[in-house]
Structure 1
Amino acid sequence: MAPRRNTGAGAEAELPEYAGHYRLESRLGSGGMGVVHLARSTSGMKLAVKVVHAEFARDPEFRGRFRQEVAAARKVSGAFTASVVDADPDAGQPWMATLFIPGPTLSDEVKRNGPMDPAQLRRLMAGLAEALRDIHRVGVVHRDLKPSNVLLAEDGPKVIDFGISRPKDSELRTETGKLIGTPPFMAPEQFRRPREVGPAADVFALGSVMVHAATGRGPFDSDSPYVVAYQVVHDEPDLTGVPESLAPLVRRCLAKEPEDRPTPDELMRELRSVAASYDTQAFIPAQRSSDGPAPQSPAERPEPSVKRRVGKKVIVGAGALGLAVVAALTSVRLLGDDQASPSGTTPRTKAAAFSSWKAKPAPETSGMPQCSYGAGELLCVQAGTVFALSPADGELLWRRPVATTSASGPPVVSSALVQPYTEGGPQLAALDPHSGNEVWKRRPAPGTMVRYTARTALLTAADGKITGVDSASGRTRWSHRIPGQRTPSFVSFPGDPLAYATSTSADGSSTQLSAVDPQSGDVRWQAHLAGTLEPVGSEGGSVFFLSIGSVYGETKAVVRYTPATRSTRRVTLPLASQEAHATVRGNVVYLLATGGSLQAVDMDARKQLWRVETSVSRGSAPVADDRYVYFTAADGRLLAVAARTGALAGQTPARLGPDSAKVMGAPPTPVLDDGHVYAGAPDGTVFGVAARNPAGW
Structure 2
Amino acid sequence: MALRETDPAEVGGYHIEDRLGSGGMGVVYLARSASGRRLALKVVHAQYADDDEFRIRFRREVAAARQVSGAFTAPVVDADADAARPWMATLYIPGEDLGTHVRRHGPLPLPKLRELAAGLAEALRDIHRAGMVHRDLKPANVMLAEDGPRVIDFGISRAAEFAAQDVLTQTGRVMGTPPFMSPEQFSSPQDVGPAADIFSLGSVVAYAATGRGPFDSPSPYETAIRVVDGDPELDGVPDELLPFVHLCLEKHPKSRPSAGELLDLLRDGRLPEPRPAPETGPTPDEPAAPRRRGRRRLLLASLVSALLLAAATALTVVAVNAEPTPAERDLPTGWQAWHKKSKDPSVDKDPIGADAPFSRCAATGSSLVCAGDDVMATRFALADGRNTWARPIDETTDDLGSGDLGTIIAARSGRVYVYGADDRTVGENEFNPTRYTIQALDAETGKVIWKTVTGDSDEATEPNSDHGASAAVPEGIVTVYGAKGQQYALLDAVDGKVRWKRPMPDPDTQMCLLRSAARHAYLVCQKWSEEDITGTSVAQLDPATGRPRWTVQVTGEQDIVGAAAGRLVVLDTTGTRREVTLINTASHVVTNVRLSPAQPEAATPTLLNDRLYFTFPSGSVRAVAPDTGRQIWESNSTVESSGPPIVSGSHLYLASPSGRLAALDLRTGAVEATLQGRDDGGTAGISGVGAPLVLVGDALYVPYGIRSVYSVDVRNL
**Normalised TM-score (structure 1):** 0.38
Q: TM-score, normalised by structure 2?
A: 0.37
